[in-house]
Amino acid sequence: MKITQTVEIRATVEEVFYWLGDPTRAMEWMTSVSRTEIIEKTPGWIGTTFRETVEEGGRGTELRGVVTDFVANERMAFHLEGEFNTVDVVWTLRHRGETTEVSQVAEVRFKGLMSVLILVLGPAFKKKMMAQGQSEFARLKALCEPGS
């Protein structure tokens, strides 16, 4: 399942990337992330491994992640592996005059029984993920935009 979202933020790419460029800052604006821990940080971030806990409805699951691409103030990508799914996410930032365009492309693949259930529940799940993304983008904007 592919999920793509974009937002314009009135801030420099450096200000926005501050919140994106370090997985430990995710808890500040990503509504489902309750814990992040860097396991091994590598020079230049590519290959850095981390663990994060994602919670929803009082239940949590742990995901193990690795940074797969990193260009400061431009893009970041990572692969997450969990019990129920794998996710590949690419964040891209583009300077647009007085704003920064932030794009996220996430490819979610489900495992086991979830891969069967998603055949039926896919549209509802995608709608929920899009709403969560919009909420997270709103929090990111509030952190980045002056006077928010």
pLDDT band, very low/low/confident/very high, at 148 (cuts 50, 70, 90): low
Report the share of the chain in percent with pLDDT over 90: 60
Q: Residue 108 contacts by C-beta under 8 Å, 6 or more apart in sequence?
A: 1, 2, 3, 85, 86, 87, 129
Going along the chain from its start, the domains and CATH numbers come out as 2-141 (3.30.530.20)
Global confidence as pTM: 0.86
How far apart are the C-alpha atoms of 12 and 17, rounded to whole Å? 9
And the tokens for 132?
């969560």
Using one digit for the tens of pLDDT, what is the confidence trace for 64-107? 999 999 999 999 999 999 988 899 999 999 999 999 999 999 99
**CA pseudo-torsion sign 75, 68, 66, 130:** positive
